[in-house]
Amino acid sequence: MEWQQLISNKRLGQENRHAQRHDDRSEFKRDYDRLIFSAPFRRLQNKTQVFPLPGSIFVHNRLTHSLEVASVGMSLGNDVTRRLCALHPELRGTLFEEIGTIVSAACLAHDMGNPPFGHSGEKAIQTFFSEGKGLALRHQVSEAFWNDVTHFEGNANAFRLLTHQFKGRRPGGFVLTYSMLASIVKYPFASSLAGTHGKFGFFTTEQSDYQRIADDLGIRRLSEPGAPLQYARHPLVYLVEAADDICYEIMDIEDAHKLHLLSFEETTHLLLGSFDEPTQQHILQRIVDECIDDDNEKITYMRACVIGILEHECAGAFIDHEAEILDGTFTGSLVKHTSERVRNAYDTCKKISKKRIYNSKPVLDVELSGYKIMDTLMSHMIDAVMSPDRYYSQQLIGRVSSQYDIDAPDLEARIMAVIDYISGMTDVYALDVYQKIMGVALPIV
């Protein structure tokens, strides 16, 4: 793969159009602005990240997480750009210098396809078809479609959300640049390979769009003709992934301290584990020198230090492995290729998070409730599109936004419209619809 081809400002849906611009924004900055002002991005403020949506203590939701990831992504992209331009002077003055903006925009978009209630919402959609009432549809849909829905994946759904021409929208969906779209596809292969890899990057309905983008950018194709489609990652995916890895792990530790799931001493030990003894003492002395007395503020300062070293080392890992990344042979994440101390400290945080955070009662309670809500919504809405002439079906279908092709003649299109509708809900809206469907809440006029 070649950098000059990988970085392109060609837009999906406007390949042959050269729009006249009236400001000095780059095409990649336009991507960023288009995303941050969009309704699906705003809805992330009411989608669970890990912990229940806040009461008296404000923890991260999908919106704050995405903004933080975009910030780290910008730093990573700019750091890598500076270092690579020093190694490859021919890249200076080209679109390559906008990598920071591309990565930052991709970071904004990386969670936009996630359904309500996070991982629990994903599992509810998957198991509705693989274990629940949706299993009856197995022989009424194609094999490719069945693979898509039984492995429903927020990453693939993000690519669909950004590229699909929903009713009333223009061709190309959000009409974003090729390089930015390729940068969010973390698992660039078809859903038929999800059984082996666990995840996939695009639904069958968007496969041709991804293939067009990948081929135009010169992304290395790994599959033979006739085999399930599979590509190497676009190199910038590794930077988006690293920004996400850094933020979710370190910020979850900070949130756990605020919620008293981890003590101050435990949190300090986890965060300072990335540093040698002299650096640890320097950080602690700076806290004293800065007169920081509040424990939460002390943790905030240490967290900033950890994010700084992780960003620096992930950028270094990208530079060290540039040849493998461009060849499509690089394996693992950038975090896995950091120095031993930093890598081990990060892995320790992951182990503690799994044991003390992700299996904590507040998190499990949200997952249990979210799963039930999502399963119920799927059941009622799929029944409605299967029997649209029934009175109750018409009542349900009538409340669905017109952008979703809920009355399409094709069964698979109707099922996908239901998934589009439900996966686009916020946690609170999903709960509200669930309560109305179950008859336990009435609208207040």
pLDDT (tens digit per residue) in 119-164: 889 999 999 999 999 999 999 999 999 999 999 999 999 999 999 9
Backbone phi, psi, residue 252, to 5°: -65, -35
The pLDDT value recorded for residue 56 is: 43
User: Is residue 177 helix, strand or coil?
Assistant: strand
Rounded to whole angstroms, the Cα distance separating 199 from 187 reads 7
Average pLDDT, the chain: 91
For 294-342, the three-class secondary structure string (H helix, E strand, C coil) is CHHHHHHHHHHHHHHHHHHHHHHHHHHCHHHHHHCCCCCCCHHHCCHHH
Whether the pLDDT of residue 279 is over 70: the answer is yes
Asked if residues 374 and 117 have their Cβ atoms less than 8 Å apart, the reply is yes
Euclidean distance between CA atoms 308 and 75, whole angstroms = 10
Q: How far apart are the first and last CA of the chain?
A: 59
Residue type, 310: L
The number of helices, as runs of H, and strands, as runs of E, in the chain is 21, 0
CB 155 within 8 A of CB 184: yes
Q: Decide if 28 contacts 101 (C-beta within 8 A).
A: yes
- How many residues appear in the chain? 445
SS3 (DSSP) at 12: coil
pLDDT score recorded for residue 37: 96
74-115 residue pLDDT tens: 999 999 999 999 999 999 988 999 999 999 999 999 999 999
Q: Which two tokens stand for residue 257?
A: 């301290």
Distance (Å, whole) CA 124 – CA 149: 11
pLDDT tops 80 at residue 441: no
Percent of the chain with pLDDT over 90: 70
Residues 239, 323: Cα–Cα separation, whole Å = 15
Q: How many CB atoms lie within 10 A of CB 249?
A: 18
At residue 59 the predicted structure's pLDDT band, cuts being 50, 70 and 90, is low
Residue type, 82: R
At 402, the pLDDT band (50, 70, 90 cuts) reads confident
What tokens does 374 get? 């999502």
Q: Any idea which residue has 């309670």 for tokens?
A: 365
- 173 φψ region: left (φ > 0), alpha (ψ -120 to 50), beta (else): left
Average pLDDT over residues 370-390: 93
Q: So what's the pLDDT on residue 231? A: 96
Question: Angle CA(123)–CA(127)–CA(130) in degrees, nearest 5?
Answer: 145
Q: What percent of the chain has pLDDT over 70?
A: 95
CA angle 127, 248, 259 (to 5 degrees): 95
pLDDT at 140: 95
CB 13 within 8 A of CB 173: yes
pLDDT band, residue 364 (cuts 50/70/90):
confident
Give residue for tokens 């969009």.
Answer: 38
Q: How far apart are CA 68 and CA 303, in angstroms?
A: 13
Whether this model's pTM surpasses 0.85: yes
406-419 pLDDT tens trace: 888 899 999 999 99
Output the CA–CA distances (angstroms, integers) from residue 204 to 116, 119, 145, 187, 192, in the order listed.
Answer: 23, 22, 7, 14, 10
> CA-based Rg of the chain, rounded to a whole angstrom?
23
